[in-house]
């Protein structure tokens, strides 16, 4: 199936008749991964395929929209993350679950995870935790949030575009997006939670991350449960996988996509050929079961309202944009004489 998909994508990209590529799944998932089962026994061909397929999707010349409706995990992430337009719904679930099975995040994860805001990518890479619905947009892994019931109308509208430019596609998706209402539960990864997450996962040693989480559990009551649960999750993961994943994410931050994919191929080869027994054991178990310095005053200083207005003028009133800006201001700025000052 993967070979057919790769060939078809190339054909679409080269076709003069194809103006827009839309990726979607059937049933309850966009793509739930599950591709690791055959990797150890078909290692050379499988690894080379995934490297080429993920690079092809990430470098399409045609506009690409990925409907991340339902489960999008592991290999499924590789099919979606390269799309300039990635749509989450209320049923969306995202994870890179590799450390659960003694493996390391791949499909370009070492490239895109470290480019998420703060240490969100490091957190996802090490914990394998699942994030859902609007949180996928908050993390920057999806670009838009569209209720599932609106997807048929959205698909019709996208398919009807005579000239599907990036601006036209974005406007069309925005027209079908849902506003955040007061009844919607707040994101779990803003405010104090984000501050301690970035603090804990900024370390370059797994032991230091766990130690920092334990310090948070003992000193910040409001975050104690989250910190303890995160420690428990990490201690249940393969120690080898955690260390390799952390190093790969740190290195991937400074790599181009092609180089990160090549690094992942080398890591996968090592896991599959016995550098660590954790991967084969793990998959068998599954088979069985504002940077710079904003001045505090002066002609270049901005108030909170001015900063938000400047972003909305440039990017439009995109759903979730204001909330993202406000959370960043709360975490990264302080107010001096009515103006924002970047504190980092």
> Is 75 a catalytic site residue?
yes
- Order the strands of the 131-132 sheet from edge to edge: 29-31, 71-73, 93-95, 131-132
Collect all residues with Cβ–Cβ distance below 8 Å to 214 and sequence separation of at least 6: 227, 231
Residue 192 designated active-site: no
3-class secondary-structure state, position 115: helix
Q: How far apart are CA 138 and CA 117, in angstroms?
A: 10
End-to-end CA distance of the chain: 47
Among 23, 78, 102, 106, the one annotated catalytic: 106
Active-site annotation holder among 25, 75, 78, 118: 75
Cα dihedral 135→139→142→146 (10° resolution): 30
The CA distances from residue 290 to 2, 124, 140, 321, 325, in Å, are: 42, 24, 17, 15, 9
Q: Is 138 annotated as catalytic? A: no
Given CA atoms 46, 48, 52, 55 in this order, what sign does their dihedral have? Answer: positive
Catalytic residue among 35, 98, 212, 327: 98
CA dist., res. 39 & res. 112, Å (int)? 23
Six token digits for residue 224: 């104690």
Bridge pairing between strands 29-31 and 85-88: unpaired
Active site includes 76? no
Q: Which amino acids are annotated catalytic?
A: 34, 75, 98, 106
């Amino acid at each position: 199936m993967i070979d057919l998909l790769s060939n078809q994508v190339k054909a679409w990209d080269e076709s003069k008749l194809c103006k827009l590529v839309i990726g979607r799944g059937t049933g309850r998932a966009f793509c739930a991964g599950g591709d690791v089962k055959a990797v150890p026994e078909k290692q050379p061909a499988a690894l080379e395929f995934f490297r080429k397929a993920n690079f092809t999707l990430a470098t399409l010349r045609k506009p690409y929209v990925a409907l991340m409706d339902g489960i999008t995990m592991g290999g499924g992430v590789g099919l979606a993350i390269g799309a300039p337009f990635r749509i989450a719904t209320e049923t969306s679930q995202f994870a890179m679950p590799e450390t659960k099975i003694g493996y390391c995040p791949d499909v370009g994860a070492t490239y895109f995870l470290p480019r998420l805001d703060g240490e969100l990518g490091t957190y996802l890479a090490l914990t394998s935790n699942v994030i859902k619905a609007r949180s996928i947009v908050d993390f920057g892994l999806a670009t838009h949030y569209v209720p599932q019931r609106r997807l048929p109308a959205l698909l019709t509208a996208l398919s009807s575009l005579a000239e599907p430019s990036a601006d036209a596609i974005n406007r069309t998706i925005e027209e079908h997006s849902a506003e955040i209402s007061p009844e919607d539960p707040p994101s779990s990864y803003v405010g104090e939670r984000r501050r301690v997450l970035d603090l804990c996962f900024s370390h370059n040693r797994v032991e230091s991350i766990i130690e920092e989480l334990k310090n948070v559990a003992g000193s910040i009551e409001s975050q104690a449960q989250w910190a303890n649960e995160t420690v428990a999750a990490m201690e249940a993961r393969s120690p080898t996988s955690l260390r390799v994943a952390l190093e790969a994410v740190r290195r991937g931050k400074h790599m181009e996509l092609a180089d990160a994919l090549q690094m992942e191929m080398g890591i996968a080869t090592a896991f599959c050929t016995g550098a660590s027994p954790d991967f084969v054991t793990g998959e068998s178990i599954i088979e069985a079961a504002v940077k710079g310095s904003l001045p505090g005053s002066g002609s270049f200083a901005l108030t909170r309202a001015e900063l938000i207005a400047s972003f909305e003028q440039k990017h439009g009133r995109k759903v979730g944009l204001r909330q993202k800006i406000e959370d960043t201001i709360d975490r990264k700025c302080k107010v001096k004489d009515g103006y924002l000052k970047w504190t980092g």
